[in-house]
Structure 1
Amino acid sequence: MNDQNESPNRLTDARPFQEEVVIIGGRQITIEEIVSIALMKRSVALSSNSAWRARIERGAAFLRAHLEQGRTVYGVNTGYGDACIVDVPDDLVTALPLQLLRYHGCGMGEHLSDAQTLAVMAARLNSLAYGFSGVRTVLLERLTDLINHQVLPRIPSEGSVGASGDLTPLSYVAAALVGERQVKFRGSLHEACDAWKILGRSPLELAPKEGLALMNGTAMMTGLACLAFARATHLTRLASRLTALSTVALDGRAAHFDALLFEVKPHLGQAEAAAWIRADLAGREDTAGHRLQDRYSIRCAPHVIGVARDALSWIRRDVENELNSANDNPLIDPDTGRVLHGGNFYGGHIAFAMDALKVAVANLADLMDRQMALLVDDKFNNGLPRNLSGASAARASINHGFKAVQISMSAWTAEALKLTMPASVFSRSTESHNQDKVSMGTIAARDCIRVLELTEQVAAGHTLATVQAVRLRMRVNDSLIVPKPLNAFMTNVTAQSPYVDEDRALESDLRVLTAQIAACALIDVEAE
């Protein structure tokens, strides 16, 4: 039972999963699979393919033989980083991995969420399963156990410069495997060694290079990037729906989203956003309206959203390339008998992708904030009450509707825009000028997550306001027909946050909606 080489497939006491298993090893995995693992919708299992399993073991065996021949391998029988010129005596080689994970135990900042921790571990597992890291199958099995039993290392968010990989954050994954530091398990904090004891296992004894293989890679930034991608994708869909809803609320013109407009300027993303808005407005009469042309935040919304949609296409490419790569150092190729010293731990592609995505997402926040400004201002909202107040005429003078929500949305938007400074240009020379050009990829990913959080808050405020605005428009125009998709959306939102007739605190409503948006759950496109 305590043999560390036993099968990893025992899932006793693990949370039941709703969908199929994600197979790791010998295949490419997708962003969506990482997200499903992170949200505990799927478990993971190592491939049963015998050729893949044999290659993993060949890599570990080759490394052992290489060392027995007296060869020098960085980080295996040398010091780390600038200390690569320091030889490690044979009798200390097995102790070296523990030294690496222990001295990197200096992370700070908030701990990653459960979903983020699972995404990080899944990304690291898939990279090591590529077969170029010289690790044993048992290490992959134990990482699989951490994921499937939800033994979650407490990973601090701060401390990585994104090359030589995410060393400090990933040291907490390595520490959990060897039974050190705390983990979250079954809803409470445990010492890692105690969690393994509960599962009937002994902590893993790391072989030479396995500490380095676990830590010297881009798994933290890549796991966070997968989650950021999913949340940004959902926001583009939601921003499109809120644009359609704002068009109805402002008595605007559906003709601004005519397909021909987007055929003659053929950016695929903006055409996609326009098609979503057009579908949401299907059946709406396009009368003369109040203006020949609606203001830019309505009329040009597909062009703003489309930038994010098109950026997501190449961001997917780069994130999935990183996800499906061998990104530690050195790499071990048992087929050619080579040890390759390089820099695949460098997270430049993730850094640039996250820097770009946070700009695109912040622009969505700004778009929704501008639409909100039109809705609450009775000089621009074409006959709706000031601040979207639903109060009766007798109490209108003391009710302020969505005034404070609009102020808060402006604050959240400003903070999101402030955070769009690219992290990737702030490389710092560190570690005795060995790591003299670094990616800052993890900081870029963390910044992107923060911009997403702020933009999701903006979207929550805008959702409540646009639903209120359409309800008020229906009072002004009792013959108004709200297209079916928008009506269903409004019904869902109103069930959670009723119509605001008298002023009330909306914090709890906003928090519920923000959580739904972050979970990509506010719009169920497939059900429409």
Structure 2
Amino acid sequence: MTQNVRPVLIFFDGTPLQIEQITAIAYQQAQAALSSQPEFRARIQKGADFLDRLLAEDGVVYGVTTGYGDSCTVEIPPALVPELPHHLYAYHGCGAGRYLTPVETRAVLACRLASLAQGLSGVSWALLQQLEHLLQHDILPLIPAEGSVGASGDLTPLSYVAAVLCGEREVLYKNERMPAAEALRLTGTTPLKLRPKEGLALMNGTAVMTALACLAWLRAQYVGQLACRITAANVVGIAGNAHHFDETLFAAKPHPGQQRVAARIRSDLVAEAPLRNSHRLQDRYSLRCAPHVIGVLEDALPFMRQLVEGELNSANDNPLIDPEQERVLHGGHFYGGHIAFAMDGLKNAVANVADLLDRQLAQLVDTRYNQGLPSNLSAAQGERRAINHGLKAVQISASAWTAEALKLTMPASVFSRSTECHNQDKVSMGTIAARDALRVLELTEQVVAAMLIAARQAVVLRQRVQADVPVGDAMRAWVADLAARVPLVEEDRALDQDLQRLLADIRDRAWSMYAH
């Protein structure tokens, strides 16, 4: 756990959780714990007991006494039923691509625990304890990111969780890669033997896409807030028109998120100040319409939260086991359509923010449009101006990052494939959409980092040509904070380390603002 933040316990008992609680666990600012309430444990046990009775009475349950997927017509001999969960995670061990990061993996474990804690999956208390053990001891399954079509849930990536619970495959423990069985031994526990249905309960769900969506949502919210402050700084830098963000003006178009964005920008500006070096009554769209662009993200985030948290707080495997009415309910809750839709929308809104900031940067560096600022925002003076190039290359890189982000906005959800002998003939692609959203956010955060350097540079250079340039107190403090992080670019220098430090700050701030 990080030393300067006091950890808190987040209890899992089937009651609703929020995005911030999952991300707090993911970033090790909180610890997951099963509720100690007897009623909760009794509810979990009741489902497992009902399933045991059903099997003893020769009940037929998909994935317990039958094969999986299109093999549901294959009857499993009673003597082989205990072996079936092992076969499920064994044959799904075919993931590829990068491994999920430690932050992403903790979020996956927390999301799977949240779903199973609903008490509708027929799993044992021991399985929940083993998941809790992984989280509390930070034993992180090495989960390949690629291989899920988002229905029947995240089968292949979650097979790595199931295998680790049983002491198989590999984990990251104390920054060391090791066999799962060894990490379990070092932390005082033994591999789990999965009961009937438990392999399916672990794997046949949406935990990976939901975990990535929680992380993406939080980062997107902070990107939107930073874009407001950067826009205000760029209005100051370019001697723009503060009246474009007037409260009465935005009352005429009542999108609440858009109005909040305009208010944030307005609060950083001094609307009564006279304009200098400007004959323009209206600024170009990337400044004037910034609330309309950022506002789309701001207005979409509450709806996207509803979709993500709805999935987070669901029992999403199949079949579900209703211990109260003693019914086995066969359905399709593993389908990740809500996450797919939310993440396809999120990446679109975020990429548009990257594009907005990239267009603002193009104005700032160009003497045809920046209203008296030096070319490429170079702070070099005197004869040294001739050999210094300021932020010329930063603008090129930001344009490249923006183009890549925009390229990734093609919705993943429309690329459904028919898989598994046409049993999974309509799938969500929710996990691909969530991974795309995280990549778009990564690229957009890089654009934001570049813009932090540029916006700070523009404000300082504007103050050189207009000593009385109006800057609000919050903006002044923000520019001073940036000055402490990144020296003014006067002589040409490599800026990659400055950008990396700013990126780390952005990502650190994104979760720390909301995790509590």
CA shift at 1:15, angstroms?
7.5
78, 82, 87: which is aligned to 1:94?
82
2:218, 2:511 within 8 Å by CA — same for their partners in 1? no
Superposition pairs for residues 171-320 of structure 1, below 5 Å? 171-282=159-270, 285-287=273-275, 290=278, 291-320=280-309
503, 511, 516: which is aligned to 2:500?
511
Secondary structure of 1:157's match?
strand
Aligned pair in 2 of structure 1 residues 524, 321: CA closer, same or farther (>3 Å)?
Answer: closer
Partner of 2:130: 142
1:284, 1:481 within 8 Å by CA — same for their partners in 2? no
Secondary structure of 1:110's match?
strand
415, 421, 429: which is aligned to 2:418?
429
2:270, 2:470 within 8 Å by CA — same for their partners in 1? no
- State the TM-score, normalized to the length of structure 1: 0.95
Count how many residue pairs are aligned between Structure 1 and Structure 2: 513
CA shift at 1:522, angstroms?
10
Please state if 1:355 is matched with 2:340: no
| AA matched with 2:236 | V
CA shift at 1:283, angstroms?
7.0
Secondary structure of 1:43's match?
strand
457, 460, 481: which is aligned to 1:492?
481
| AA matched with 1:496 | R
Partner of 2:318: 329
**CA distance in 2: counterparts of 1:136 and 1:279, whole angstroms:** 54
**CA distance in 1: counterparts of 2:277 and 2:371, whole angstroms:** 9
Please state if 1:467 is matched with 2:456: yes
Residue deviations 1:32-91 (CA, integer Å, cap 9, x gap) = 101101000000111122222111100000001000000110111111111010011111
Please state if 1:420 is matched with 2:409: yes
Partner of 1:364: 353
CA shift at 1:126, angstroms?
0.2
Provide structure 2 residue ranges, at least 5 long, that are not aligned to the other structure.
Answer: none
1:389, 1:396 within 8 Å by CA — same for their partners in 2? yes
10, 22, 25: which is aligned to 2:10?
22
Residue deviations 1:432-466 (CA, integer Å, cap 9, x gap) = 11111000000000000000000000000011011
Aligned pair in 2 of structure 1 residues 284, 236: CA closer, same or farther (>3 Å)?
Answer: farther
**CA distance in 2: counterparts of 1:494 and 1:524, whole angstroms:** 22
**CA distance in 1: counterparts of 2:105 and 2:403, whole angstroms:** 29
Secondary structure of 1:21's match?
strand
Please state if 1:154 is matched with 2:129: no
CA shift at 1:513, angstroms?
0.9
Superposition pairs for residues 384-399 of structure 1, below 5 Å? 384-399=373-388
2:269, 2:470 within 8 Å by CA — same for their partners in 1? no
Please state if 1:43 is matched with 2:17: no
Residue deviations 1:163-198 (CA, integer Å, cap 9, x gap) = 000000001111110000110001111110000110
1:332, 1:339 within 8 Å by CA — same for their partners in 2? yes
Equivalent pairs: percent with the same residue?
58
1:117, 1:153 within 8 Å by CA — same for their partners in 2? yes
Partner of 1:163: 151
| AA matched with 1:88 | I
| AA matched with 2:442 | E
Q: CA RMSD in A?
A: 1.6
**CA distance in 2: counterparts of 1:289 and 1:378, whole angstroms:** 12
Please state if 1:501 is matched with 2:463: no
Query: Structure 1 stretch 274-283 or stretch 309-318: which is displaced more?
Result: 274-283
CA shift at 1:523, angstroms?
9.9
Aligned pair in 2 of structure 1 residues 68, 48: CA closer, same or farther (>3 Å)?
Answer: same
**CA distance in 1: counterparts of 2:35 and 2:511, whole angstroms:** 35
CA shift at 1:502, angstroms?
0.2
Aligned pair in 2 of structure 1 residues 525, 350: CA closer, same or farther (>3 Å)?
Answer: closer
Provide structure 1 residue ranges, at least 5 long, that are not aligned to the other structure.
Answer: 1-13
**CA distance in 2: counterparts of 1:35 and 1:332, whole angstroms:** 29
**CA distance in 2: counterparts of 1:340 and 1:524, whole angstroms:** 41
CA shift at 1:524, angstroms?
6.3
Partner of 2:397: 408
